[in-house]
Chains A and B, each alone.
Chain A
Amino acid sequence: MDRLIELLPKFWVATGETLYIVGIAMLFGGIAGLLLGLGLYVTRKGSVLDNRWVFGTLNFIVNVFRPIPFIIFIAAVQPLARIVVGTGIGNTALAFGLALAATFAISRIVEQNLLTVQPGVIEAARSVGAGPVRIIFTILLPEALGPLILGYTFIFVAVTDMSAVAGLIGGGGLGNFAIQYGYRLFNPEVTWAAVILIIVLIQLVQLVGNKLARVVLRR
């Protein structure tokens, strides 16, 4: 317990790092994933901007990158991180890698949730003269908003989970804190303190996500 109190300042720094890494990853990954998911949905056969070449290309890219285990992925994208964010190590490089991985995961979540929108509703919008872009933003996204919020909440949890591999490329955060000061130094109470905070954090996010989705779905 003394060990934990001693480490408390580092503990709070690690908490801040986790929020930074996951926040950046969700912000950029969220936007890019939404666009990629939309791209997949609208170019699919029979959809509003049906285009088999664009769909085939996007689908291939997502299928290639999504199954790579994150612990390998984060090391593999280091050269790209150096180009884009200027560094291949540390929290920012980790946030970049996470954002990229989240993009592919989110794109599938977005695509799947958009597919649950009844085709008849889209047809009704077409029948009153709405064009593809208008349909995407005024019908498709609002109709799928509830499930989309739940999907993003799900990904948030997954991204927090993935952020624990930070130590591999010199990043920090709660997961790394638990491994470095808890597991490796035989301080189970330190490990548990980090785990409990992660659980609390995720519960909070899940709570907000559920609440928001309920408001949108009015259930």
Chain B
Amino acid sequence: MALIEISDVTKVYPPRSKGETPAAALDGVSLEIEQGEVFGIIGYSGAGKSTLVRLINALEKPTSGSVTVNGVEVSALRESKLREVRLGIGMVFQQFNLFTSRTVWGNIEYPLTVAGVPKEQHQARISELLHFVGLVDQAHARTDQLSGGQKQRVGIARALATSPAILLADEATSALDPETTREVLALLKRVNEEFGVTIVVITHEMEVIRSIAHRVAVMENGRVVESGDVFDVFSAPRAEATKRFVSTIVTSVPDADALGALRARHPGRIVTFSFADGNTSQSAVFLTLGDAKVGFELVYGGINEVQARTFGHLTLALTGDDAAIDAALESIRAVATVTEVH
């Protein structure tokens, strides 16, 4: 059984005023998140991903469907029974949500106090966490003295204080600059690898998914439109929404504008070859084309790396006898995905 099971969940918010139709934030979502993985959920704002992640620690309750965490149906628990569940699920936020009335130390101590951890154990645990996130010198700083990246480190330390098995990251890097984003993502990756914490990452940035997620679900209008292994989704996106997200960082496939320009310059046939995880098949393509006496020119393309595996797209303009080209393409289909561009 998966660690987190979300089954056919809907969430409908009551209308703000009479006469308006109720707004469905989630519309029949099912997901299974396994122990120890980093699971990414990507979508534009309003896609329902923030609502979805809040079902896991029951900050929100589904209108229908069920959410089970570690065998406990959290969607059926009353608020007073949720303390135990939430102690096992840390959460970090886009706006950090630190307690400004407390110091860095006080922020990290708060969950320990709530959990009823004996006071004499606080010091050791907080020091350990400060070391882990690299904020030992700021232990007694006020939170408004910290930079954005430091604030999020405090947020992560606070979320990890009670050693939860699950960490929910709600747009945790969206308020940070690219450099700080990389640092925070590296930290989350360590949380996953060193402590085995299962992480659910909500984001609208494909780069975040590429850097740390193992699997990904793409959300649009309250539905999961595609999900799977991050490498598979990146190398061969199927849903339109997924293609749009992938195209934000995989730029090796020409878009409509680039194609138009290519067409104008190359009157012959234009073909895109897609490779996944195989550098050898590239040479096979070139050899086959050469043997068939098909002229080729590389007009667009690139190689991408995701999860230490590579995939790429090469767009070639082909010249030569039509029948010869057809035959060559036919034999190439065995080693690469061929898309003829019209």
- The answer, yes or no, to whether A111 is at the interface (CB within 8 Å) is no
Known: A129-B114, A129-B115, A130-B114. A120 touches B93 (CB 8 A): yes
A118 interfacial contact with B, CB 8 Å: yes
Whether, in the assembled complex, A121 has its beta carbon less than 8 Å from a beta carbon of chain B, the answer is yes
Judge whether B189 is part of the interface by a CB distance below 8 angstroms.
Answer: no
What separation, in Å, do the CA atoms of A172 and B93 have in the docked complex? Answer: 56
A134 within 8 A of B: yes
Known: A143-B99, A143-B100, A145-B101. A124 touches B93 (CB 8 A): yes
From A218, which residue of chain B is reached at the shortest CB distance? B142
B110 CB contact (under 8 Å) in A123, A125, A131: A125
Residues A118 and B95 in contact in the complex (CB < 8 Å), given A128-B111, A143-B101: yes
B97: interface (CB < 8 Å): yes
Residues of A within 8 A of B97 (CB): 118, 120-121, 123-124
A126, CB-defined interface residue at 8 Å: yes
Q: Tell whether, in the assembled complex, residue B86 and residue A126 are in contact, meaning their CB atoms are under 8 Å apart.
A: yes
A-contact bits for B73-96, CB 8 A (1 contact / 0 none): 000000110111111011101010
Cβ of B95: which chain A residues have Cβ within 8 Å of it? 118, 120
B99:A139 contact, CB within 8 angstroms: yes
> Which residues of B sit under 8 angstroms from A120, Cβ to Cβ?
93, 95, 97
- Chain B residue contacts of A130, Cβ below 8 A: 110, 114
CB < 8 Å neighbour of A123 from B84, B85, B93: B93
Interface size on B, residues (CB 8 A): 32
Chain A nearest CB, measured from B238 CB (Å): 34
Q: Are A124 and B91 also in contact (CB < 8 A) when A118-B97, A129-B111, A218-B142 are?
A: yes
**Cβ of A134: which chain B residues have Cβ within 8 Å of it?**
114
Chain A, Cβ-Cβ closest to B111: A128
- Which B residues lie within 8 Å of A126 (CB)? 59, 86
In angstroms, how far is the closest chain B Cβ from the Cβ of A202?
Answer: 28
Contact B101 A128 (CB under 8 A): no
Q: Which residue of B lies closest to A143 (CB)?
A: B101
Q: Report B-chain residues with C-beta under 8 Å of the C-beta of A128.
A: 86-87, 90-91, 110-111, 114-115, 158-159, 161-162
Q: Which residue, of A118, A120, A121, A127, has the highest number of chain B Cβ atoms within 10 A?
A: A127
In the complex formed, the residue of B with least CB distance to A144 is B101
Tally of A interface residues using CB under 8 Å? 19
Does residue A142 face the partner (Cβ distance < 8 Å to B)?
yes
Instruction: Assess whether B59 is in contact with A129, with CB atoms less than 8 Å apart.
Output: no
* A142-B113 Cα distance, complex, nearest whole Å: 16
- Taking CB atoms and an 8 Å cut-off, the chain A residues in 81-127 that contact chain B are 118, 120-121, 123-127
Q: Is the CB of B87 within 8 A of A129?
A: yes
| Chain A residues whose C-beta falls within 8 Å of the C-beta of B227 in the assembled complex | none
Cβ contact of B83, chosen from A129, A138, A142, cutoff 8 A: A129
Which residues of B97-152 have CB atoms within 8 Å of chain A's CB atoms? 97-102, 110-111, 113-115, 142
Name the distance in Å between B209's Cβ and chain A's nearest Cβ: 23
Q: How far is the CA of A173 from the CA of B99 in the complex (A)?
A: 43
With both beta carbons as reference points, the residue of chain A lying nearest to B168 in the complex is identified as: A127
With a cutoff of 8 Å between Cβ atoms, the chain B residues found around residue A218 in the complex are 142
What residues of A have a CB within 8 angstroms of the CB of B173 in the complex?
none
Bound form: Cα–Cα A143–B100 in Å: 7
How far, in angstroms, from A39 to B161 measured CA to CA in the complex?
32
Decide yes or no whether B192 CB sits under 8 A from chain A: no
- The answer on a CB contact under 8 Å between B57 and A127 is yes
Contacts of B115 in A (CB 8 A): 128-129
B 143-176 binary contact with A (CB < 8 Å = 1; else 0): 0000000000000001101100000100000000
A145: chain B residues at CB < 8 Å are 101
* Smallest beta-carbon distance A80→chain B, Å: 38
Interface membership of chain B positions 220-252, coded 1 if the CB is closer than 8 angstroms to chain A and 0 otherwise: 000000000000000000000000000000000
Query: Is the pair B101, A129 in contact by a Cβ cutoff of 8 Å?
Result: no
Find chain B residues with CB under 8 A from A143 CB.
Answer: 99-101
Given contacts A121-B98, A143-B99, 13 further A-B contacts (CB under 8 A): A118-B95, A120-B95, A123-B59, A124-B91, A124-B98, A126-B59, A127-B168, A128-B91, A128-B115, A129-B84, A129-B85, A131-B80, A218-B142
Question: Can you sample 30 A-B contacts with CB below 8 Å?
Answer: A118-B97, A120-B93, A121-B99, A121-B100, A123-B59, A124-B93, A124-B97, A124-B98, A124-B99, A124-B158, A125-B99, A125-B110, A127-B89, A127-B91, A128-B86, A128-B87, A128-B91, A128-B111, A128-B114, A128-B161, A129-B83, A129-B85, A129-B86, A129-B87, A138-B113, A139-B99, A139-B101, A142-B102, A145-B101, A218-B142
